[in-house]
A and B are shown apart, each in its own frame.
Chain A
Amino acid sequence: MSIAETEARAALDLSVLIGDWRNTNAAGSITRIVCKPAGEGRLTVHTWTAARDFGTVDAPVFAFTFDSRDAGAFAANYDFGFARARLQANVKAGVLVVVCLTSFHDESGRSNYFDREFFYRVRR
């Protein structure tokens, strides 16, 4: 492996993902997602719903092609004890498409469920 290969892996360009993203649907579940660079190609993701601040987590990033230097997707895990939320997001045509997979680990009887929402960027 060459140094260039290592750097290509370590330094995906995050500019497509960075920013303050708002739900296109005012009645949506997740209201806001803020993606920030955290150095060395890392990304942090801060998520809010109308009722809860999910907080900030590190999120691995992914390119759209195997030889790309541009990150176009991320995955973020939130663990609330009684429930876990797995966010999988990618940018398509300037829209952040977010799949939220929620699983419950309490005794409420609620079904694990899947949701998909769309976000526009208000600022980088």
Chain B
Amino acid sequence: MLPLPRPRVGIESMAGHWCKTNDSAQWIDSLEIVVEGDGLVVHVYGGGAGPTPADWGSARTDIVYASNVLSGDAKAGAFIARFELPEAQVEMQANLNLGLLVVATYVSFREPGAWANRFTREFFRREDGA
């Protein structure tokens, strides 16, 4: 018996240029998200607060999650992507909520030092207003 086809998650709603909603310096300044096949490629630019590089580079999403088990609708869904920064590994989880991209990061430093492993959550608006 053939496996059931999995509904395609509509990831296009997450693509775009996302700018921070906060005027102050923060961990992440902006994100550029593009569709690549069935996944997303996320490019992150640091926001000047803490040990954040100006350019994190790009990472492909591990998994894009739908908003519920059957819908295939990513509008209220989420993704996970992982970044290797010079000093730390970062797991990023982002989800759409009321038109905002809510981005959480879990920052784990490779070597002991003055910085504590840290959780961040920041909010981003789509620059083009789409």
Contact = CB atoms under 8 A, between A and B. Distances in A.
Interface of A: 1, 5-6, 8-10, 12, 60-69, 72-73, 75, 86, 88, 90, 99, 101-104, 107-116
Interface stretch (B17-25, B29-37, B40-48, B69-77): B69-77
Given A62-B119, A63-B117, A114 B112 contact: no
A114 B114 contact: no
The 10 closest A-B pairs by CB, nearest first: A109-B4, A107-B3, A73-B119, A62-B119, A114-B65, A114-B78, A63-B116, A111-B66, A66-B115, A9-B112
A116 B93 CA distance: 12
18 contacts: A5-B113, A5-B114, A8-B116, A9-B109, A9-B117, A62-B107, A66-B51, A66-B115, A68-B118, A73-B106, A75-B91, A90-B119, A103-B63, A110-B69, A111-B72, A112-B64, A113-B66, A114-B76
A47 B95 CA distance: 23
Contacts of B118: 62-66, 68
Nearest to B105: A62
Given A67-B114, A102-B69, A109-B4, 6 more contacts: A5-B112, A8-B114, A61-B117, A63-B117, A99-B93, A111-B72
Contacts of A65: 116, 118
Interface in B45-93: 50-51, 63-72, 76-78, 80, 91, 93
Contacts of B72: 111
Contacts of A64: 118-119
B100 interface: no
B67 A114 contact: yes
Contacts of B116: 8-9, 12, 62-63, 65-69
